[in-house]
Amino acid sequence: MNFPDEIAHLVRSDEPLGPMVWLGIGGPARFFAEPVDQEQLVALYRAAIDGGLAVRVLGSGSNVLVREAGFDGLVISLAAAPTSGLQIRGNTLVAGAGAKLSHAVIKSVSAGLGGLEHLVGIPGTVGGGVVGNSSAGGRDLGSVVHEITVLDSQGQSKVISQEEASFGHRKTSLGGWLVCEVAFALEPREVTALTKRMQKLWINRNAQRPSQETRIAMPFVDPDGISACELIQNVGLAGLREGDVSLDARQPNYLVAHEAATSDQCLRLIDRIREQVLLQTGVDLQLNLQIW
């Protein structure tokens, strides 16, 4: 495919994706681009649509499993500063979709604005967090969303309200759109108290992660009312292994990719876990991972 001259210099071919995702697994993207402003993002997205290319947005790569065949389409990274910026406007935090969720938390707490601090330590970006309605401590991200700027399936920009996004337990109606920017309506709070709460949550979250492993991901969404970790432990699957992929023995809600891990091994292990959990508990675990 030939991209328009004004954006062709942004596009790289056969870009390895494995080093960009937490699991460290996967082949190349047919096309890869990192726009440095909103205009470039729109132009890339529209060019891909016009050319019949599938599009994926890459944030931090914390919940992406890439197959060894790679992705036959355009991968857009939102890591550049203009697409991952954070601005405080009164009691509103405006965040680019590529901003890390933890950075958004820290920015709001430093400004004395409450509403996001319970999400500190949750991996991923603002865009991914909003699409999947990330939650922690009994409160979800959608509860403080004011509005979302997206590109629709035709590449047209539109603003979506909180109600239109249809926030539910770890889901929204945003799956068919590309999230560009999110405005969060927050509440003025005392900075010191917010900071102490954030620091305490940060310590607790870090203690729950496998400390010796670097190539990890959380494969499942926590069902409403119980954690995936508890379910997996209750059915005796902690530490379960498939080739060079395993569940962490102490924190089995984490998938660990060892040196020779493959995407097929990951998927086989995930299927085994889902089958056993469903058989023994009646709960059908839903994927947190995006499979590319």
Of 66, 60, 71, 138, the closest CA to residue 99 belongs to 60
Report strand pairing: 11-16 vs 145-151: unpaired
* Catalytic-labelled residue, pool 67, 139, 170, 272: 170
56 classed as catalytic: no
Residue 228 amino acid letter = A
Total count of residues recorded for the chain: 292
The answer to whether the CB of 244 falls within 8 A of the CB of 251 is no
Q: How far apart are CA 45 and CA 39, in angstroms?
A: 10
Q: How far apart are CA 286 and CA 219, in angstroms?
A: 9
Q: How many CB atoms lie under 10 A from the CB of residue 167?
A: 20
Q: Which residues are designated catalytic?
A: 170
